[in-house]
Amino acid sequence: MIDDRPVLLETRGRSLRITLNRPRAINALTHTMVRLIDEALTAAERDGTVTSVVLTGAGERGLCAGGDIRALYDDTRAGGRASLDFWRDEYRLNARIARFPKPYVALMDGIVMGGGVGVSAHGSLRIVTERSRVAMPETVIGFVPDVGGTHLLAAAPGELGTHLALTGRAVGAADALLCGLADHYVPTRRLPELMEALAASVTAEEVTRTVRGFAEEPSSAEPGELAAQRDWIDVCYATDSVEEIVRRLEDTAASASASTAPTAHAAADVVAELGGRSPLALKVTLAAVRRAARLGSLEAVLDQEFRVSARIREEPDFVEGVRARIIDKDGSPHWKPATLAEVDDSTVARFFAPLGPDEPELGLAPGATATGTA
């Protein structure tokens, strides 16, 4: 008999295994799943026999493809507030995972995107495999990276995080390690053996040693791409203006010669990608990543992301982006505004202002209040 519960819990030896169990949806997160994970962490924290928590996903496609976008789309179109309630609990869960007092081992096998990054990449031991594809692809649907994604991307080396935030590109194991989105590489075939070894690990120190004992270098068959692209990425993205980023990319794309042709081609691809993204989402995303770098703590960044999410759902681009990419799948979103020039600084700033009395702040950061951050 198939167990259709959305989250499966199993205590094996000294570890609690949390399995996201919506394989047909690549384990996309629902509000119920967020609550069940939070309840499981409460139980694990109180249980002295549990040494570690291990997060995995059912099926062969991935750990988690993100939040349930269709549910968010339907709620937004109907003018509901279920999306806000979901994000409020989801972001609190992200913060809890980051501060969880026991080892939290995330098996980031296969697709790990959006909300999937939120429940894995804040963990203490994050494992990628040869099948991993890790991304914060929100700009593709007219949204902005959330679930602490701007915190993670702001901390990536150089401008790699800015590049990934704006393009929404997925990276493999080597690049996830380089960008600080993961800690260790373990081949998929060894994950069952690793989980059994974790079940036998009695202390937190032993859990860490166990994971390190299974870790390998990513094979030469799955090389990263970003390390070799740092020279032009760091130059092109080292500005607080999306228009200037695009101009620098265009200049790089136009400078093709026999020796620079690969770089020019890569830059041209990025120009084409950004040209298909929501201008509003691009500008708010760049501002969010820059502000996240200054805020420092994950909690403060999550407070900021909640403000941005609450406001961007009120814009037409989110619904239009989901329609074009996921519902109708015509790949032709009609963004409003249609150009970067139409999105001015005052419009961007509005997304980061306190929410006001009608919508309480998330309030995770020390000193935060219901109406803003002190």
Annotated catalytic sites, by residue? 67, 115, 138, 146
- Complete edge-to-edge strand list for the sheet that includes strand 62-64: 62-64, 111-113, 133-135
Give the pair of three-digit tokens for residue 239.
Answer: 């500005």
Report the amino acid identity of residue 294: R
Assign 3-class secondary structure to the chain.
CCCCCCEEEEEECCEEEEEECCHHHCCCECHHHHHHHHHHHHHHHHCCCCCEEEEEECCCCEEECCECHHHHHHHHHCCCCHHHHHHHHHHHHHHHHHCCCCCEEEEECEEEECHHHHCCCCCCEEEECCCCEEECCHHHHCCCCCCCHHHHHHCCCCCHHHHHHHHCCCECHHHHHHCCCCCEECCHHHHHHHHHHHHCCCCHHHHHHHHHHHCECCCCCCCCCHHHHHHHHHHHCCCCCHHHHHHHHHHHHHCCCCCCHHHHHHHHHHHHHHHCCCHHHHHHHHHHHHHHHHHCCHHHHHHHHHHHHHHHCCCHHHHHHHHHHHHCCCCCCCCCCCCHHHCCHHHHHHCCCCCCCCCCCCCCCCCEECCEEC
Amino acid at position 320, single letter: E
User: If you search the block for the tokens 């980031």, which residue do you land on?
Assistant: 108
Residue whose pair of structure tokens reads 């924290």 in the numeric block: 45
What's the maximum distance between 2 C-alpha atoms anywhere in the chain? 63
